[in-house]
Amino acid sequence: MIAAGQARRSGFVSTKAIAKNVNLPVLQRLSADARIYNAWQNEPWVVDGAAVRVSLVCFAAPEERTNRLWLDGQPATQINPNLTSGQDTSTVAKLRENANSVFIGVQQSGPLSIPRELAIDWLSLPLNPNGRSNKDVLSAYASTDNIVGRPPEEFLIDFPQGLDESSASEFEEPFEYLNRAVYDPHREGTSVPFPTYRRSTAGQNPKWWEAHRCRPSMRAALEPVDSYLATGETTEHRVFRFLPSYLIPDKSLYAFPYAGMIGFGVLQSTLHEVWCTYFGNRIGAGNQRRYNASFVYLTFPFPEGLTPDIPAADYADDPRAQAIATAAARLNELRENWLNPADLVVRVPEVVPGYPDRILPKDEEAAKELKKRTLTNLYNARPQWLANAHAALDAAVADAYGWGDDWRAGLLTDDEILARLFRLNQQRAAGSAG
C-alpha cells in the first residue's frame, strides 16, 4: 500500500520470527519501499488465552517525516531489516565449508518411542516368524534430556526403510503395538488410531509404521563414528555434549558427527555463544533460545584452517587445534565427572546385546543426588571450576582466530565479537562466490 501511494504509514504485529531466517526477506522487501521507524523485537502477547511472544513493526513512506527512530523503546540511529540497530547483519550468508556437517534427528510423528522395560520384554521374545530378532527394529533413542537433563533410557520402534507392510508385520510385537496404538498429535483429547492418522497425513512417507522422517543421511554419517556431538534445538543454556553413536537422536537434537573435540571446543566457546544468541531466535512464553542450524551453524565462521570441511587429521599438529582440544577435553571431563561422580554410580552390564554397560545410582540416596545433576542445573549455578574451564577454552579459541591478545585485554565485547565474526562471514562468502 505504501509503495502504491495508498498509505503513508502502516504496521503489523507478527510472530517474532519475522526478523529471522526464512522470514527475513519479508522485512527486506518492505525496507526497500518503506522505512521502519519504530519496532519492538520480542514482546509478550496473549492470543485466545495462549501466551506467545511477538514483534511489532511500524513503517512509513521514505518521504514521510518521523521525529525519531525507536527500537525496543530506545532511540536508534537506524533500524535494519532484521530489527537491529547499528551494523546491518541481515546479509549474513551460509558458508560452503560448513555444509553437510550437521543433521537434525528423527521425526517420529507418532507413538514410536517406548520405555526401556517394554523394549527389554520384546528383546527377550523368541525370534519372529521371519527368523529375525526384534533388535532389528529397536534403537536406543536420545532427546534433549540426554543433553541437559538425565537420560530417560527410551527406545525407538525403528523399522528399516524399504520394508513393505507385510514384511513389517513379521516383527510381530512392535508392529501390533503400533497397529493398536491411538495418537493425539495436538494433545487436544482427539485421539485417533495411529495407522489412520498417518495414512491421512502421510505426505512424503506413506509407510505409517516408519518414523515420518527417518533421516538416512544422518544415520549414514553416524555409522562410522563411535560418538557424535549434539545440542538441543531449544534449551535454556546453549550446551553441547558428546553422545554414543548407538543413540539415535530425535528431532529435538542437532547432531554433528564430525566435530570431534576441536569442533566441540569452538562451538562451546563464548564466541559461538554470541553468534548463536544473536542469529538464533526465542520461542514460547518462556522465551527459550532456539538453535536453528541452518541460520546459526551454517553461517558461523570457524577459525581459518579449522573449518568443518577439513579432516581433523589434517590439522592435528596445529598448535591452535591442540590448545583448543586440550581445553575442550578438560571441560568435557570435568562436566562428565560432575554429572556422574564415581562414588555415586555403578556400572551394570547391559542385557541388550551390543550395548555398553549402564550407569546406575549405587543406592537411593545416590539416585536423589543424581536426579539434581543436570547440565541445566550446573549452568544455572555456574560454579567457579566451570567458569575457569570455560575461560581457558575461550582463550584458546580466541587465539585460534588471532584475537587472543584482545581477548585477554578485555577488548572483545559481545558487539566486537559479533562484528569480527560477521566480517569473516562476509569475506568467506565472497570468496566462495568468486
Query: How many helices (DSSP H) and strands (DSSP E) are in the chain?
Result: 15, 20
Helix or strand or coil: residue 321? helix
Give the predicted TM-score (pTM) of the model: 0.84
pLDDT, residue 85, reads 65
Divide the 434 residues of the chain into consecutive groups of 10 and give the mean pLDDT of each group: 64 67 64 69 68 72 66 68 72 96 95 95 97 97 96 94 95 97 76 83 74 95 97 96 96 96 98 94 66 95 98 96 99 98 95 85 97 98 99 99 98 97 97 70
- C-alpha cell belonging to residue 73: 523503546
Q: How many residues are present in the chain?
A: 434
Closest CA to 293 of 311, 279, 309: 279
Q: What is the pLDDT of residues 414-423, one digit of tens each?
A: 999 999 999 9
> Assign residue 153 a region: left if phi > 0, alpha if psi is -120 to 50, beta otherwise?
left
| Close Cβ partners of 157 (under 8 Å, ≥ 6 residues apart) | 112, 113, 114, 137, 138, 174, 177, 178, 209
Beta-bridge mates of residue 14: 55
